[in-house]
Amino acid sequence: MALSLKDLPLAEIMRRAFEARIVVPAYNIAHIPMLKPIIETLSALRCFSLVEVARPDVVQFGAGSIRAVCEEFRKAGDRGVARLHLDHAPVIDEAGKRFDWKALIGEALELGFDSVMIDGSRLGLEENIAATREAAAMAHAAGVPLEAELGAVLGHEAGPLPPYEELFRTGKGFTALGDARRFVKETGVDWLSVACGNIHGAISEADRDKAKVRARIDLAHLAKLRKAAGVPLVLHGGSGIERESVLAAIKEGITKINVGTQIRQVYERRLKETGLVAAAGQAVADEIATLTREYFGIEGSAARLAGR
Ligand code: 13P
């Protein structure tokens, strides 16, 4: 086995992570100065993670552009502990409008992102399959893995959500088992984002500073999804999920967990309090260290994934 993760393709690292049930967190870069302290912390703790950027990070927050995040990643990056992922290229966006996902994925592939995501979850099943199949062909031609979403991880849309307990009890938006099996087989997707109790933190101007509801995972449903899908599963809405739920979900096949709101709010709050970008960056570094050591418990995961 390789001694360092540096030279391994991301697809292989994620396969190993899935088999060994080692989670790979994916941290959203909502502001460019968050990136360097994240990478430095991951390097110090020898923990393998992804950094990722989604359209809301660019449009709603301060990521600038996917190119800007990519350039910062090239400067700060340590490929032994981190790779760069394009999060959520939507077919239908948060406001319900059609979006040119092909242009966004094409740009990310040209920039050399290590993996990309298409989000066809606001489409019907047939259309989601068709778009995801096309995106898989684009990503695979560039030699990188594709993530896609099936079911609805709610929370990014404008307008109020039903109460969380009602969502959980009724299973609104949960990924359907039969659909998952068919979706993976017919699209060639590499990692599947599923809905099973997780919700996204709000991004609207009115709600972006609010504390997220404490979510939990329907573990019985997740176990069935893993068997049906047979590929690494992704949990969006990673901020503020009960720890026991998260650890159990990792055992059930969740390989990638997206964390956005929690680290963005830490950064923005500290920046507001101090007016200092460096202090805000330090607050993010501290949060990543706590997540790595105490929440996920994955300090040193790079060595385990490299087989040492
Ligand atoms: P949170 O903002 O709820 O952590 O979710 C992040 C996410 O899933 C980005 O795709």
State the catalytic residues.
87
The bridge status of strand 146-150 relative to strand 191-194 is parallel
Q: Fill in the amino acid letter for 278.
A: A
Q: How far, in Å, from the CA of 109 to the mean position of ligand 1?
A: 22
pLDDT tens for the chain, residues 1 to 308? 456 899 999 999 999 999 999 999 999 999 999 999 999 999 999 999 999 999 999 999 999 999 999 999 999 989 999 999 999 999 999 889 999 999 999 999 999 999 999 999 999 999 999 999 999 999 999 999 999 999 999 888 877 788 999 999 999 999 999 999 999 999 999 999 999 999 998 888 888 999 888 999 999 999 999 999 999 999 999 999 999 999 999 999 999 999 999 999 999 999 999 999 999 999 999 999 999 999 999 999 999 999 86
Q: What pLDDT is attached to residue 4?
A: 83
Using most ligand atoms within 8 A of CB, pick from 198, 203, 261, 265 the residue to mutate for ligand 1.
Answer: 261
Which of 239, 263, 268, when mutated, tests ligand 1's pocket best, judged by the most ligand atoms within 8 Å of its CB? 239
**β-strand partners of 235:** 194, 257
Which residues, listed in sequence order, are joined to residue 52 by a DSSP beta bridge? 28, 85
Torsion of CA 236, 304, 284, 117, to 10 degrees: -30
Q: Give domain 20-302's CATH superfamily.
A: Aldolase class I (3.20.20.70)
Distance from the alpha carbon of residue 20 to the mean position of ligand 1, in angstroms:
24
Contact 242, 262 (CB under 8 A): no
Of all helices (H) and strands (E), which one includes residue 306? helix 301-306
- Going from the Cα of 79 to the center of ligand 1, the distance in angstroms, rounded, reads 23
Q: CA 246, CA 200: separation in Å to the nearest integer?
A: 15
Residue type, 36: K
Report the pLDDT value the prediction gives residue 159, as an integer from 0 to 100: 75
pTM of the model: 0.97
215: exposed, middle or buried (Cβ count in 10 Å: 0-12, 13-18, 19+): buried
CB distance 249 to ligand 1 below 6 Å? no
Q: Does the CB atom of residue 28 touch ligand 1 within 6 A?
A: yes
Question: What's the gap in Å between 255 CA and the centre of ligand 1?
Answer: 15
> Residue of the nearest CA to atom 9 in ligand 1?
258
239 lines ligand 1 (CB under 6 A): yes
Domain borders along the chain are 20-302
Q: Which of 191, 200, 235 to mutate to test the pocket of ligand 1 (most atoms within 8 A of CB)?
A: 200
